Structure formats: structure tokens, C-alpha cells
């Protein structure tokens, strides 16, 4: 059995990167990220990203391709849209991937909702996404760790279900709970091994740490092995102004947003030349973040440069903070 990642990694800094070169480049890019020294590779999913829909992929097949192309790098779903999965199906898919990869899966989960059309396409009410997510997580953890599972919820019912073989990691792959609001923080306390927000400022990150600790105290949850992660958009250019313009344009396209993204990127993206990016990331570290999954707020032709710059110039400077 494979040791829990949360047990082995508590206080030092850790870094990963989302796949940014296109799904058809998954195998080659995953190998490249491993060679560059990233600790995990991330990929997310949507089933119908708007209407007309933008391009999207299903995350678990992508991570399976990345697993087969690599040896050490961990596999982070960023994120699985958990309301779309029956817990038995998700337990089998994730257990298989964890075993096949040698215990490298980190299950980042989110509830979605920014594209209601994809819920409609799957015959799921977008208003049920929180309740479905909580039930799925509760049942999933039991399916990973127990035999003959019975479960009676509003959305899911299990009768004597056993997943064989179980995941390679014990007690199970770490669950990183993504989100931005209090409901997601409570979900992280109840079911998660990590808090994994996105589009957060350092100030909001620090506030979320305080809230999660308070929620944990209310529920009697021991957070001694809990991990503090952050999904961080990067835009690296000669000036902060240029970086902000590029990030606003790129994220506006990605999120199909017709308004002005400048205020959002100014607060939540890391922008500018390397030195300024390092200073801003230090603020997140001071706020409590210990794991960073970097994503690229730039056009496709600039992503390879961003990936290399973060690996070769930014991460080495940040690593010195943990020594």
C-alpha cells in the first residue's frame, strides 16, 4: 500500500502545473512537466462549457494518459465535477487510476455551476449540485475504504456494494475540495484533505484559513494533516500592466465573459515580471498556502514560456522560503 500524501507532506511548499498545450499533447506535456520538476500535473473538466460550447475534456481520461507517460509526477484533477458522477462509478474510476498509476492520484473536486447548460445536458438540476456533491463524497469515502457498503441518501442509494480492488493509497487518495464560498469550506472540513480555492487574493486566502479552522473546531475535525492549496493563475510579462491586459483578455475568452476582467485579474492573478510574481506569491505563502497549482492566463503561444519560467525561475526562489 502507498503512504498517504497528506501524512508525508505537511509544511514545505509544493508546486504543480495545469496542462496548457492542448489535450492532444497530454503525454508529451506530462513528461515535460515531470522533467522540469513539477510535483503534480493538473487537468480539469467540463461536459458542455456554455452554448455554443467552448472546447473541454473529461479529466480522468486525460490524467490516465498523463499517468502512462510518466513515472513520478502526481495526478491532480482540477477539478472533477462531482455532481455528475454516481459514487459507485467514481469510486471504480478513481480506484483503477490510482492503482494503475502506482498511487499518484489526488482527487480535486468541485460542484461547478458556472455553466448551467451542462447540467441541463446531463439531466441534472444545477440547484442540486451541492447536495449531490456531499452525498457522493460521503459514499465515495466509504466505498474506497469499506466492503458491503449500504448508503441511503436523497440522491444516491447503495445496497451491499464493494469496490475490488480498493485504491492503492491508504486510506484513500487525498480529496482536495475546490470552491470559493463558505459552503465549499464546510465541505472541505467534512469530507476533504485539502482546501483548494481559485480566484482568491492573499487576504481572502488568509480569511478562508481562519474560517476553515473555525468550522473544524465547531465539528471536532482534527486538521493536523490537512493541506492548504491554491489554484493560481499566472501572467508573466515585462510589466504588470501588460500582464494584466493579457490575463484579462485570456480569461475573458476562457470564461466566456463579455465584461471587463481587469479588476478580477488585478486582485486574483499573479502578474508582471518574475520578481513581482515572486513577491505576490510570497503573500499567499504568508497567508497559509503551501501547495500551488499554476494555471496560465495567457494565449496558447505563450504557455510554454510560462511553464518554463515558473519552473526555472519562480519555483526555486519560493522553495528557499521553506528551508
C-alpha cell recorded at residue 15: 508546486
Give the Cα-Cα-Cα angle 188, 192, 197 (nearest 5 degrees): 50
Threshold 0.75, pTM exceeds: yes
Cell for 264?
Answer: 478580477
pLDDT value of position 26: 98
Phi, psi (deg, nearest 5) at residue 18: -80, 150
Where along the chain do its domains lie?
Answer: 5-322
Q: What is the CATH number of domain 5-322?
A: 3.20.20.30
> Would you say 176 and 106 are in contact if contact means Cβ atoms under 8 Å apart?
yes
Closest CA to 110 of 128, 83, 89, 90: 83
pLDDT, position 253: 82
Q: State the cell numbers at 241.
A: 500592466
pLDDT tens for the chain, residues 1 to 323: 554 444 444 469 999 999 999 999 999 999 999 999 999 999 999 999 999 999 999 999 999 999 999 999 999 999 999 999 999 999 999 999 999 999 999 999 999 999 999 999 999 999 999 999 999 999 999 999 999 999 999 999 999 999 999 999 999 999 999 999 999 999 999 999 999 999 999 999 999 999 999 999 999 999 999 999 999 999 999 999 999 999 999 998 877 666 678 889 999 999 999 999 999 999 999 999 999 999 999 999 999 999 999 999 999 999 987 66
Return the pLDDT at 322: 62
**Residue 255: predicted pLDDT:** 76
The pLDDT assigned to 8 comes to: 44
Amino acid at each position: 500500500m502507498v503512504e498517504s500524501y497528506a501524512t508525508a507532506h505537511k509544511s514545505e511548499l509544493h508546486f504543480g502545473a495545469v496542462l496548457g498545450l492542448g489535450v492532444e499533447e497530454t503525454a508529451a506535456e506530462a513528461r515535460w512537466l515531470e522533467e522540469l520538476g513539477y510535483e503534480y500535473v493538473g487537468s480539469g473538466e467540463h461536459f458542455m462549457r456554455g452554448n455554443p460550447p467552448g472546447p473541454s475534456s473529461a479529466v480522468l481520461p486525460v490524467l490516465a494518459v498523463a499517468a502512462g507517460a510518466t513515472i513520478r509526477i502526481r495526478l491532480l484533477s482540477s477539478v472533477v465535477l462531482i455532481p455528475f458522477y454516481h459514487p459507485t462509478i467514481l469510486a471504480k474510476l478513481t480506484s483503477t487510476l490510482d492503482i494503475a498509476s502506482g498511487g499518484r492520484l489526488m482527487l480535486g473536486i468541485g460542484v461547478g455551476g458556472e455553466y448551467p447548460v451542462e447540467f441541463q445536458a446531463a439531466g441534472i438540476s444545477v440547484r442540486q449540485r451541492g447536495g449531490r456533491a456531499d452525498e457522493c463524497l460521503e459514499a465515495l469515502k466509504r466505498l474506497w475504504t469499506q466492503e458491503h457498503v449500504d448508503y441511503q441518501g436523497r440522491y444516491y442509494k447503495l445496497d451491499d456494494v464493494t469496490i475490488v480492488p480498493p485504491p492503492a493509497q491508504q486510506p484513500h487518495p487525498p480529496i482536495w475540495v475546490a470552491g470559493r464560498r463558505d459552503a465549499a469550506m464546510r465541505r472541505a472540513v467534512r469530507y476533504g484533505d485539502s482546501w483548494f480555492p481559485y480566484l482568491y487574493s492573499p487576504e481572502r486566502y488568509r480569511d478562508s484559513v481562519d474560517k476553515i479552522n473555525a468550522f473544524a473546531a465547531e465539528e471536532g475535525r482534527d486538521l493536523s494533516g490537512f493541506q492548504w492549496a491554491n489554484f493560481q493563475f499566472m501572467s508573466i510579462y515585462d510589466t504588470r500592466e501588460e500582464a494584466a491586459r493579457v490575463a484579462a483578455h485570456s480569461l475573458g475568452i476562457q470564461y466566456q465573459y463579455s465584461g471587463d476582467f481587469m479588476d478580477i485579474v488585478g486582485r486574483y492573478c499573479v502578474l508582471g515580471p518574475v520578481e513581482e510574481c515572486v513577491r505576490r506569491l510570497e503573500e499567499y505563502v504568508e497567508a497559509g498556502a503551501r501547495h500551488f497549482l499554476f494555471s496560465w492566463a495567457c494565449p496558447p503561444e505563450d504557455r510554454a514560456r510560462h511553464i518554463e519560467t515558473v519552473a526555472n525561475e519562480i519555483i526555486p526562489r519560493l522553495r528557499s522560503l521553506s528551508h
